[in-house]
């Protein structure tokens, strides 16, 4: 068996026993023993030479250190394992299909009785029928509520799978979605087309799901690369021979189609070097990969240095006869290309040889986890996790202090629309759901992506080649925000104090094609009932080729590289249930008024200019496609008009803008005509429907003119007064890259967020319940210290557990029979991760 991680939190997370390995266990015991000895030795050094060591470490001696205490008696801190959670029900209705369920469905579909004429996805050609996806299809909200309110086992919602089949061998090839259920497979299991969640009948074959094998067919080399091979060396400074040592690669843009009538795209050449996304070259080809027969795929145009050719022959003729306007290539020989790698450079900064601070829950973790059910609870919060191929992590049935606040919180789609003066950048409009933001999740880097004491949860998705499992797909941790959530300095009784600002973070990171961003989805829970949804981006830019004609479209970041301007917008579904499911959308506006009052006859005249509040309910969906008001003078909240707090105010949750609350700059572009209409707004609110589960679909990318999900069709004049509502909320960024985006974009500024925060939901700020808080009382005698009450909760003095040795493993793949697949080669891993952004020509 390939090496895997130690059980991360073995005693509390249940069934990890089978993962135990004698070697690791012994190593860990030795490690703990060694660390204790080392720590004790270090502590005795501190006792003996406190001042000299402090000086070495750059520390100031502190009067708070009790040098007389016997540190050898200090116990080890409580282990960083999460106690078991107590979900509201013994099932997770949104759980991914298990490996066994997936294999069962695969075999059932392959049975001759189904008459589907399937070829296994790992060997299928475009002209074959094959299964593109198998994953859980979520039960209806009514079914879940029915079960949750009774917990009657007979009311457990039936389990169903959503199946996508590429019907490549049909007379008119197309893609179809089906429902298969109930599961487990039995004589009652049936299959039916899944159509009622889409706005189009069939999915055209030219818009079919991404398949890395499409880009490695031999025709790709023979038709697109071979005819130009002679020119590559002179013009681009590299070699394309279909050999392992090729110094050039190509990559594709998108969308591939407008309405499914064709499948065509631009490809652009790049240096085959680490950080290849920052090494675009000056040659582009428009290619036709329509239909199911690669022998009919063609090149339609060549563009080199702003000159356009209809055929390879005319291009090569110009190349030979001297009419081609050339620019000298920057070759690998001439240039140091290490700038596009992540290798450290520069002088080491002062004290940077020391490890930075790390967070330790000295008395044990304060959040609970049910690993099997993927349920997490913390400080009054409780929620289930879901995970799918398209968009990855989602949160369900989020409750706070025993009340449901959000039924579903899930990312829907991520667009990135580029600009430039070349055919590649100016035509790129990504919808990353197509590539599978869940499929693109890989294990997190422990200690870097999440703190050392984070608890990791697995994530599994289906891919045509097999079933992918990542042991560290999701992380959960509590951290100290480093600032109090509330505080006040005062001298009256019980006025002075603070509540510590602890937060629970649930995170997953998706590296979509390794190109533009590595997206970190953070769901951050606060003690006052606030949920923060935050996205941060990093990774390599999709850079453009720099020349003098690109100045309006970005910043030059290297000799021949421009960081191209683009917009990111990411949509979230927020199915709020505020004090029940009967909810309304409240718009609050603040504006200026000039007012006179009889008591104003004072030194300042009889007019006062001040603000006032206007409250109005938006009662119709058509009026609920919204932008935040100028200067943020106002807010939107989902409230229950019939449920009031103690002060008679309707209880509500506001959708509060956080960092960078942008919408898309571009309106009317043909490449995003109707497939991402949600991106035109900051948020929108529609009536919740089972037939409108998502604002997008994986096929929307390639069907901007005829999208299977047309968001605007959700808004058809229905009342949204006291109905079950869904808010569709955007985060994003106008990304104007700069020199500091190399090698990778920084998550501090490339971030966007929104808050779901109680607004008159409670009668007061409930974070005052926290006992991780302090109350100070003024001294009775002048000069005495303040007395204080910390509710008996104070920092523990203990020796932290040693940090586990660093290890990192590739994604675990099970084949379509559910058997563990042999470890993947680097090239296979690259292909699965970098998709068609790095097409290496093969003979
Ligand atoms: Cu970007």
Question: Could you report the per-residue pLDDT of 471-480, keeping only the tens digit for each?
Answer: 999 999 999 9
Paired strand residues for 265? 287
CA–CA dist 201, 194 (Å, integer): 10
Let me know: does 89 contact 151? Beta carbons within 8 Å.
yes
- Distance (angstroms) between ligand 1 centre and the Cα of 750 equals 8
CA–CA dist 326, 282 (Å, integer): 10
- Distance (angstroms) between ligand 1 centre and the Cα of 417 equals 9
Query: Average pLDDT of 797-817?
Result: 93
Q: Which residue has the higher pLDDT, 13 or 517?
A: 517
**Other Cβ atoms closer than 10 A to 416:** 24
pLDDT band, residue 280 (cuts 50/70/90): very high
pLDDT at 382 over 50: yes
Let me know: does 499 contact 775? Beta carbons within 8 Å.
no
- Distance (angstroms) between ligand 1 centre and the Cα of 835 equals 18
- Distance (angstroms) between ligand 1 centre and the Cα of 418 equals 9
Q: Which residue has the higher pLDDT, 67 or 168?
A: 168
Let me know: does 165 contact 173? Beta carbons within 8 Å.
no
Lowest-pLDDT choice from 13-22, 656-665, 666-675: 13-22
- Distance (angstroms) between ligand 1 centre and the Cα of 566 equals 6
- Distance (angstroms) between ligand 1 centre and the Cα of 690 equals 33
- Distance (angstroms) between ligand 1 centre and the Cα of 555 equals 13
- Distance (angstroms) between ligand 1 centre and the Cα of 737 equals 7
And the tokens for 136? 């859980």
Query: Average pLDDT of 105-129?
Result: 95
- Distance (angstroms) between ligand 1 centre and the Cα of 259 equals 27
- Distance (angstroms) between ligand 1 centre and the Cα of 420 equals 14
Query: Average pLDDT of 231-244?
Result: 91
Let me know: does 732 contact 607? Beta carbons within 8 Å.
no
- Distance (angstroms) between ligand 1 centre and the Cα of 254 equals 16
- Distance (angstroms) between ligand 1 centre and the Cα of 239 equals 30
pLDDT band, residue 72 (cuts 50/70/90): low
Would you list the DSSP string of 789-810? E-TT------BPPPPPPP---P
Let me know: does 505 contact 395? Beta carbons within 8 Å.
no
- Distance (angstroms) between ligand 1 centre and the Cα of 681 equals 19
- Distance (angstroms) between ligand 1 centre and the Cα of 328 equals 29
Half-sphere exposure of 538 (CA within 13 A, CB side): 12
And the tokens for 158? 């039936």
- Distance (angstroms) between ligand 1 centre and the Cα of 393 equals 21
- Distance (angstroms) between ligand 1 centre and the Cα of 660 equals 13
pLDDT band, residue 668 (cuts 50/70/90): very high
What's the pTM?
Answer: 0.91
Query: Average pLDDT of 397-403?
Result: 98
- Distance (angstroms) between ligand 1 centre and the Cα of 817 equals 39
- Distance (angstroms) between ligand 1 centre and the Cα of 132 equals 29
Where helices occur in 404-526 by DSSP H, the ranges are none
CA–CA dist 134, 466 (Å, integer): 11
Q: In the sheet where 554-558 sits, what is the strand order?
A: 544-545, 561-564, 554-558
- Distance (angstroms) between ligand 1 centre and the Cα of 732 equals 9
pLDDT above 90 covers a percentage of the chain that reads 81
- Distance (angstroms) between ligand 1 centre and the Cα of 21 equals 42
Pairing between β-strand 554-558 and β-strand 544-545 as defined by DSSP bridges: unpaired
pLDDT band, residue 22 (cuts 50/70/90): very low
- Distance (angstroms) between ligand 1 centre and the Cα of 647 equals 45
CA–CA dist 791, 775 (Å, integer): 9
pLDDT band, residue 517 (cuts 50/70/90): low
pLDDT at 430 over 70: yes
And the tokens for 274? 């680490």
CA–CA dist 353, 502 (Å, integer): 29
- Distance (angstroms) between ligand 1 centre and the Cα of 564 equals 9
On the 0-12 / 13-18 / 19+ scale of CB atoms within 10 A, 128 is: middle
For 198-325, where are the E strands, in sequence order?
203-204, 248-252, 264-271, 280-288, 298-304, 307-309
The secondary structure element, H or E, covering residue 90 is none
The pLDDT value recorded for residue 96 is 96
CA–CA dist 831, 456 (Å, integer): 26
- Distance (angstroms) between ligand 1 centre and the Cα of 553 equals 13
- Distance (angstroms) between ligand 1 centre and the Cα of 416 equals 7
Q: Which residue is associated with the tokens 């604002």?
A: 695
And the tokens for 141? 């909200």
Q: What is the CA radius of gyration of the chain?
A: 30
pLDDT at 15 over 80: no
- Distance (angstroms) between ligand 1 centre and the Cα of 745 equals 8
Measured in whole angstroms, how far is the alpha carbon of residue 464 from the centre of its chain? 22
* Residues whose Cβ atom is located within 5 A of ion ligand 1: 516, 735
Name which of 377, 463, 535 is nearest 829 in CA terms.
463
- Distance (angstroms) between ligand 1 centre and the Cα of 449 equals 19
The pLDDT value recorded for residue 6 is 57
- Distance (angstroms) between ligand 1 centre and the Cα of 661 equals 15
Let me know: does 177 contact 200? Beta carbons within 8 Å.
no
pLDDT band, residue 756 (cuts 50/70/90): very high
- Distance (angstroms) between ligand 1 centre and the Cα of 47 equals 52
pLDDT band, residue 45 (cuts 50/70/90): very low
- pLDDT tens-digit series, residues 581-617: 999 999 999 999 999 988 877 788 888 999 999 999 9
- Distance (angstroms) between ligand 1 centre and the Cα of 827 equals 26
Let me know: does 807 contact 3? Beta carbons within 8 Å.
yes
- Distance (angstroms) between ligand 1 centre and the Cα of 565 equals 8
Cα-based torsion angle of the residue sequence 96, 97, 98, 102 in order, rounded to the nearest 10 degrees: -150
CA–CA dist 121, 101 (Å, integer): 17
- Distance (angstroms) between ligand 1 centre and the Cα of 444 equals 21
Would you list the DSSP string of 204-223? EGGGPPP-GGGGGSHHIIII
DSSP state of 593: E
H helix count then E strand count, the chain: 8, 36
- Distance (angstroms) between ligand 1 centre and the Cα of 453 equals 30
pLDDT above 70 covers a percentage of the chain that reads 91
The pLDDT value recorded for residue 23 is 38
The pLDDT value recorded for residue 64 is 36
- Distance (angstroms) between ligand 1 centre and the Cα of 711 equals 24
- Distance (angstroms) between ligand 1 centre and the Cα of 671 equals 18
Domains in the chain: ranges and CATH: 212-325+831-837 (3.10.450.40), 401-440+512-769 (2.70.98.20)
**Other Cβ atoms closer than 10 A to 331:** 13
Where helices occur in 257-333 by DSSP H, the ranges are 312-321
- Distance (angstroms) between ligand 1 centre and the Cα of 452 equals 28
Question: What is the residue-averaged pLDDT of the chain?
Answer: 90
- Distance (angstroms) between ligand 1 centre and the Cα of 462 equals 28
- Distance (angstroms) between ligand 1 centre and the Cα of 356 equals 29
- Distance (angstroms) between ligand 1 centre and the Cα of 458 equals 28
CA–CA dist 415, 412 (Å, integer): 10
- Distance (angstroms) between ligand 1 centre and the Cα of 257 equals 23
């Amino acid at each position: 068996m390939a090496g895997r991680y130690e059980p991360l939190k073995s005693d509390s997370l249940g069934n990890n026993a089978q993962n135990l390995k004698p070697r690791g266990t012994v190593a860990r015991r030795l490690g703990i023993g060694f660390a204790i000895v080392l720590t004790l030795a270090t502590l005795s050094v501190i006792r003996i030479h406190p001042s000299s060591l402090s000086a070495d470490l750059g520390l100031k001696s502190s009067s708070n250190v009790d040098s007389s205490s016997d540190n050898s008696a200090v116990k080890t801190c409580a282990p960083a394992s999460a106690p078991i959670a107590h979900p509201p029900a013994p099932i997770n209705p949104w759980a991914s299909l298990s490996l066994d369920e997936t294999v069962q469905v695969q075999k059932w579909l392959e049975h001759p009785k189904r008459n589907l004429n399937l070829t296994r996805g790992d060997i299928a050609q475009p002209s074959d029928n094959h299964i593109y996806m198998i994953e859980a299809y979520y039960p209806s909200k009514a079914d879940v509520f029915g079960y949750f309110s009774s917990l009657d086992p007979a009311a457990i919602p039936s389990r169903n799978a959503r199946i996508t089949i590429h019907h490549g061998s049909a007379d008119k090839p197309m893609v179809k979605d089906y429902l298969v259920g109930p599961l487990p497979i039995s004589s009652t299991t049936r299959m039916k087309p899944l159509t009622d969640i889409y706005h189009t009948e069939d999915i055209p074959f030219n818009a079919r799901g991404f398949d890395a094998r499409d880009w490695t067919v031999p025709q790709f080399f023979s038709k697109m690369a071979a005819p130009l091979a002679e020119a590559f060396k002179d013009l681009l400074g590299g070699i394309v021979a279909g050999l392992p040592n090729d110094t050039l690669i190509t990559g594709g843009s998108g969308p591939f189609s407008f309405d499914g009538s064709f499948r065509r795209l631009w490809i652009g050449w790049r240096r085959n070097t680490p950080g290849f996304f920052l090494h675009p070259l000056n040659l582009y080809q428009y290619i036709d990969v329509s239909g199911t027969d690669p022998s009919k795929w063609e090149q339609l145009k060549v563009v080199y240095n702003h000159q356009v050719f209809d055929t390879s022959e005319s291009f090569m003729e110009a190349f030979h006869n001297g009419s081609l306007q050339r620019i000298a290539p920057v070759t690998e020989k001439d240039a140091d290309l290490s700038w596009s790698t992540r290798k450290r450079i520069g002088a080491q900064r002062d004290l940077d040889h020391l490890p930075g601070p790390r967070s330790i829950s000295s008395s044990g973790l304060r959040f609970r986890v049910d690993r099997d059910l993927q349920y997490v609870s913390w400080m009054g919060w409780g929620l289930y996790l879901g995970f799918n191929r398209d968009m990855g992590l989602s949160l369900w049935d989020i409750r706070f202090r025993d009340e449901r606040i959000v039924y579903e919180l899930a990312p829907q789609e991520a667009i990135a629309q580029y600009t430039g003066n070349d055919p590649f950048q100016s035509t790129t409009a990504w919808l990353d759901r197509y590539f599978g933001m869940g499929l693109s999740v890989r294990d997190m880097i422990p200690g870097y992506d999440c703190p050392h004491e984070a608890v990791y949860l697995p994530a599994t998705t289906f891919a045509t080649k097999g079933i992918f499992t990542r042991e560290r797909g999701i992380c959960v941790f509590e951290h100290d925000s480093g600032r109090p959530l509330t505080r006040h300095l005062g001298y009256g009784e019980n006025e002075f104090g603070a509540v510590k600002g602890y937060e629970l973070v649930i995170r997953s990171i998706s590296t979509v094609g390794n190109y533009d961003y590595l997206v970190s989805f953070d769901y951050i829970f606060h003690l006052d009932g606030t949920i923060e949804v935050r996205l941060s981006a990093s990774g390599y830019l999709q850079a453009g080729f720099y020349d003098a004609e690109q100045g309006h479209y970005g910043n030059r970041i290297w000799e021949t590289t421009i960081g191209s301007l683009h917009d990111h917008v990411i949509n979230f579904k927020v199915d709020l249930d505020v004090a029940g499911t009967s909810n309304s959308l409240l718009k609050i506006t603040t504006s200026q008024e000039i007012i006179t009052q009889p008591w104003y006859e004072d030194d300042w005249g009889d007019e006062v200019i001040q603000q006032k509040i206007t409250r109005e309910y938006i009662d119709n969906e058509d009026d609920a496609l919204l932008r935040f008001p100028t200067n943020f003078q106002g807010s939107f909240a989902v409230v229950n008009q019939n449920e009031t707090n103690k002060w008679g105010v309707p209880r509500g949750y506001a959708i509060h803008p956080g960092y960078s609350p942008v919408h898309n700059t571009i309106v009317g572009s043909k490449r995003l005509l109707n497939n991402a209409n949600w991106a035109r707004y900051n948020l929108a609110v529609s009536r919740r429907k089972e037939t409108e589960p998502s604002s997008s679909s994986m096929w929307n990318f390639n069907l901007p003119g005829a999208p299977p999900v047309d968001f605007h069709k959700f808004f058809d004049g229905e009342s949204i007064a006291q109905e079950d509502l869904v808010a569709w909320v955007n985060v994003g960024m106008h990304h104007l890259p700069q020199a500091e985006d190399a090698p990778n974009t920084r998550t501090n500024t490339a971030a966007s967020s929104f808050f779901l925060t109680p607004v008159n939901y409670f009668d007061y700020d409930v974070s005052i319940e926290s006992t991780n808080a302090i109350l100070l009382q003024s001294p009775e005698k002048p000069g005495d210290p303040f007395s204080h009450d910390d509710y008996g909760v104070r920092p523990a003095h203990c020796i932290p557990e040693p940090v586990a040795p660093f290890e990192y493993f590739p994604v675990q793949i099970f084949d379509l029979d559910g058997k563990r697949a042999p470890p993947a080669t680097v090239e296979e891993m690259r292909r699965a991760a970098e998709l068609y952004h790095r097409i290496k020509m093969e003979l």
